[in-house]
Structure 1
Amino acid sequence: MLRFSDTVHGVDLPNNAMLPPFDDAWVTSWGAERRDGIYVSRPMTLQVFHTRLLEHAKCNNVTERFGVTRDTGAPAVSDGILWGVASWGIRKLCGTERFPAMFSYLASKSNLDFLTNGTQILMSDKRHYPYPDNLFNNRAETTPPSTTS
């Protein structure tokens, strides 16, 4: 049984009224360690990394960090809301600058309808869980420096 605590939180699902921030997100996954294209081990500690959400029109432009193969199902959370779930990537190149991991966007109408029909629960405008991003004290280390003029 999962027990919520100061360090274990749930996340909210998006609803029709919410728009993604197209900003930063946190992805957690067990992943796999890879050397020279060969998977050598599976980490014993849950991995957490910072990434950026992209608008569909900009999805072909790649940012600095994305998930890797064996992260399928990994959640992408921003502001305590689950915006996406890791779906696929190009096996040996996934996670490199030219080949990002792809996430299914949960706030699309078809995905929200699927979740509502499957769970028989309407998505609420109310937030149920606290904003968890403050749990990650390495944010400054993983956020790219700002480029102000």
Structure 2
Amino acid sequence: MSLRFSDTVHGVDLPNNAMLPPFDDAWVTSWGAERRDGIYVSRPMTLQVFHTRLLEHAKCNNVTERFGVTRDTGAPAVSDGILWGVASWGIRKLCGTERFPAMFSYLASKSNLDFLTNGTQILMSDKRHYPYPDNLFNNRAETTPPSTTS
């Protein structure tokens, strides 16, 4: 079975290591499970979509926005057509609450981008060029902005 792109189904750009997340609106899509009173009751028949915000690591402890829930592992977090993160984990029954937000793997770190590029041979996005501060996410790997030569 192959994936067919259309007006409603398309690829998503990956960040490059010179990009800084917008720390703004993002959309998460998932087939996760519906839950009532803390009990998983069913899988939805339609893809679920919810709005969230990308936050700096230092601000994650004071989160008040809506987040993903358990069984959403692998759900993409997309902002402005760029895939910034993938749902990683959450605390069962408490995940998505103010004190226990879902955690997403940050894709724009140098090590993650190297892994994705080497594994898929996909070129990273060059839509925007923001200075990438390595210490923003406690990542000490060296990063190099994209070349500006033609």
Question: TM-score normalized by structure 2?
Answer: 0.79
8 Å Cα contact 1:30-1:71 kept in structure 2: yes
Q: Give the count of matched residue pairs.
A: 148
Write the deviation string for residues 60-94 of structure 1: whole angstroms up to 9, x where unpaired: 12132000000000000000000000000001100
| Structure 2 CA distance for aligned equivalents of residues 52 and 84 of structure 1 | 11
Is the CA contact (8 Å cut-off) linking 2:86 and 2:107 kept in structure 1?
yes
Q: What SS does the aligned partner of 1:141 have?
A: coil
Offset from partner CA, 1:33-58 (integer Å, 9 cap, x none)? 11111101110000000000000111
Superposed, which structure 2 residues align to 1:117-136 within 5 Å?
Answer: 117-125=118-126
8 Å contact 1:14–1:106 — kept in the other structure?
yes
Alignment gaps of 5+ in structure 2: none
- Indicate how the Cα distance of structure 1 residues 121 and 128 shifts in structure 2: closer, same or farther if over 3 A, else same: farther
Structure 1 position 134, deviation (Å): 32
Question: Is 1:87–1:103's contact at 8 Å kept on the other side of the alignment?
Answer: yes
1:146 Cα shift?
Answer: 38
CA contact (8 A) 2:134 2:143 kept: no
Structure 1 residues 138 and 112: CA distance shift in structure 2, 3 A = closer
> Could you tell me how far apart the structure 2 residues matched to 1:106 and 1:32 are?
25
| Residues in 2 aligned to 1:135 and 1:6: alpha-carbon distance in whole angstroms | 36
CA distance in 2, matches of 1:65, 1:142: 31
Runs of 4+ with >4 A deviation: 126-149
Residue 24 of structure 1 contacts residue 52 of structure 1 at CA under 8 Å; is this kept in 2? yes
Return closer, same or farther for 1:37/1:15 CA change in 2, 3 Å cut-off: same
User: Mind listing any 5+ residue stretches in structure 1 that lack a counterpart?
Assistant: none
How far has the Cα of 1:5 moved from its partner? 1.3
What's the TM-score once normalised by structure 1's chain length? 0.80
